[in-house]
Structures are given as structure tokens and as C-alpha cells.
Chain A
Amino acid sequence: MILRPLIFAAALALLPAAAQAHAMLDRAMPPVGSTVASSPKEIVLSFTEPVEPAFSSIEVRSEAGAAMQAGKASVGAKRTQLRVALKALPPGSYKVIWRVLSVDTHRTQGDFTFHVGP
């Protein structure tokens, strides 16, 4: 009696396989919370869904609050990756702030830090 509605609901969940969802951060390079030995050349964020480049951004701030990204963020061929070039980063902690609009108009945002140096 309980299995039947469970199977029905599971089938319902699987039906619209082509639909989109909120774009959540899946992976980052440099990784979230990581320490890298030298300044990375860019930040690459991979999301769970394709994003709209015109309404998506990445900011990278130093501990003093200075903007460390060089230019605007762009998307890759799959449109699930958002990347931005970086200025040369001295040793320290950096905060990455991302805001994206998935292709079905869900807005999400988040932030994380990474560290440069030993």
C-alpha cells in the first residue's frame, strides 16, 4: 500500500528529465576552502545547471576588500562553467562571490574563500 505511491512519485520526479533546476555550485577551481601555493590565473566555477552569462558574475576580493578579478566572467561551451581571469594574487585569503541566473531564471548566489601561500 505504501510502495505504490512511492513508485508513482518517483516516476513523476523522473518524467521531466529535460527540465532545469536551481544552479548550485558543484565544483570550484581552486577548490572551496583550499590553499594553493601560487596565484591561480583564473577562477573556474562549475554549476549543476547551465547559467545565463549576461546575468551571472564572479567577484574575487582580497582581505582588504580590493577587487582581484580581471574583467567579466564568461561561460564555457557547456554553459555550466563560469570563469573569470585574476590579477596576480599575493599570499593571503580571498573571497569568491558568485551570482548566477540559471537558464530557467532561478537566481542563486554564494561565496567561499581560498588561500594563496604556504
Chain B
Amino acid sequence: MRISLCAALAIIACLAAAALTPARAHEIVGNRFFPATLAIDDPGVNDELAFPTASWFKTGDDPSVKQRDISAEFSKRITEDFAISFSPTYSKIHAPGGPAMTGANGFQNLETTFKYRLYKNPEHEFVMSVGLNIEWGGSGAQDVGAERFSTYTPTLYFGKGFGDLPVAWVRPFAVTGQLGYAIPGSNSTTTFNPDSGDLDTEFHPRVLVWGGSLQYSLPYLKSAVVDLGLPDFVNRLIPIVEASLQTPVSNTITSGTVTTGTINPGVIYVADKYQIGVEAIVPINRQSGTGVGAIAQLHLFLDDIFPNSIGRPIFPGTLAGGRP
């Protein structure tokens, strides 16, 4: 019974982790400040620390279970355009229908992302980056779904502000997006099922990891379109909607091909050296979860807090510090 519970929790946690990969970077491109997004990663390459990112949601398993995650991400620029980030996540999963203190808890597999900014156009508020995310197999606890194999996800990121459009009220809008292809290091896992006495084989699909954000920047409205004289607190808000989706595309014998994910409406408050984001987590279908969850994040801009030490690239550009 214990084995089957652990296995169930592992599958649940795995699905949940796939739906809520911790992310984030911020980026300034001309007039545009792209905030660090909470549900998806964005094109930013910077020195920053997202800590903590706390989320509460109910998984898509049947029966659904409550899961709470606390994660962090530390991103360090090696050069002006290249950064490496490390992201641990601690999960607490409640047993289905059980008391609050039962279930499982532990770290998910450690994630590392290598990201390189390919192109940046301040005039058109456009930026594009490429990255490789590695989930290190075996570095987390199996009880919370951490796999024994690694997963490699090459990803393309982009951000585009609408500041070059002629209609004034549209110009504060911006979009960001990501498109990745998750390749598991193992095609399948075979386990003994104590209930049936059989060997169960779970195939690990290759998954299209995709998503985007639509954001309306009140800081942009104030500094580049029209200063309406709104309170400073309001002028620092960026209402945002994120979509974080996964679609299995091959080796889908046991996983199926149903797209799962969440839509996250929320708001981000941007201060000079940090930002705070809060979003609802709305599953797109039953397989993605039940009910509405929530995610909140404190994100520190290390390049602004420690501009002359850990907030600068290890190998800076030509201008002292060479920052954007």
C-alpha cells in the first residue's frame, strides 16, 4: 500500500512540477521593462534571485491532492549575454483524502538553465534568447515525484513590446513567449505493481513545453505614453496573464497526448530593486488540476542591489559593467 501511495504521489508531483516549472528573469529593452514572469521563463538574462516562489494548487490526479511548493532561483551572468541559473524546489504533497500531516515532502530535482541572449532591439522593444534547461535526475526525492533520469529542454524565448505601434493606449502592451522541447534521458521506467503482481512500464514522453504572457505595463504608460498623474503605487503595477502549457508529442504510449497547463492571471509590482508578483493558477482541464490555486514571488534584482559585486557579469562588456 505504501509503495502504491508513493508511486501515485510521484506521478502527481511529476505532473505538477511540469506544469509549474519555476522561472524568471527580468529584462530592459529600450523603453520596455519586461518583468520576471512567475509561471514561464522569459527572455531576460540577468543577475537575480527569485526567493521565495510559493505556490498552492490541487493536482490533476484522480483523486486530486493538495500540493505546496517553495522554490528559489539564482541566476548569474557569466558574460553580458550569457547566464547560468540554479533552481531548487521543495514540495509538500498531501495524501489523497488523508490528514494534513500525511503525504510526502522533499526536494524536486535540481534544475539548471543555461541561457544566451541572441538579439536585442531597443527601438522595437524586441529580445530573443535561447537556453538549455537540465533537470538533474536523481537529485531530488522520489517520494515527491523526482525522476531518476535527467531531462533536457532546449528552449527559445522572446519578448516584444508594442511601443512602436501608432495607437497610444496599445503601446503599454507586451508579449513574451517560450517554446521548448523536453527530452527525457530515459525512454521508460518499469516498476513492480504489488496489487496486480505485474510489472508496469511507464513511458516517458517527449514534451513540447510552451507558453506566453500578455502584460500591460503601467510604468510604460507613465514614462513613455502619457503621465496620467496616478499614484506611484499604481504606476508600478503590471497586470499580466500567463499561460504555461505542455503537450506530449512522442513516446506517448502511457502518457497520452492531452495538453495540460494553467492560465495565470495576476499582477506584478515593480520597485527599483525588486518585484513582487501574485497570480491565480487556473487549470485548463481536469488533467491539469482542480480548483484555483495561487502563486506568489519575491524577486530581487541583484544587478541593481549589488551592481559592483555579484550583480555584474563575471566577464563584463566594454563599458565598465557593460549593463543594458
Contacts and interface: CB of A to CB of B under 8 A. Distances in A.
A24 B32 CA distance: 10
Interface of A: 1-2, 5-6, 9-10, 12-13, 16, 19-22, 24-28, 31-34, 48-49, 101, 104-112
A21 B272 contact: yes
A58 B301 CA distance: 27
Contact of A106 (B70, B222, B224, B303): B303
A110 B304 contact: no
B308 interface: yes
B234 interface: no
A2 B300 CA distance: 17
Interface residues of B, number: 36
B165 interface: no
Contact of A2 (B54, B219, B304, B305): B54
A109 B223 contact: no
A31 B304 CA distance: 27
Contacts of B31: 109-111
A2 to B, nearest CB: 5
Contacts of B308: 104
Given A6-B298, A13-B305, A16-B305, A22 B28 contact: yes
Given A2-B52, A24-B223, A32-B223, A13 B274 contact: yes
B319 interface: yes
Given A2-B54, A5-B52, A12-B300, A108 B226 contact: no
Interface string B277-316: 0000000000000000000001011011111100000000
A71 B61 CA distance: 67
Given A19-B304, A107-B319, 10 more contacts: A2-B52, A6-B54, A9-B300, A10-B298, A19-B273, A33-B225, A104-B321, A105-B307, A110-B224, A112-B224
Contacts of A22: 28, 272, 304, 323
B30 interface: yes
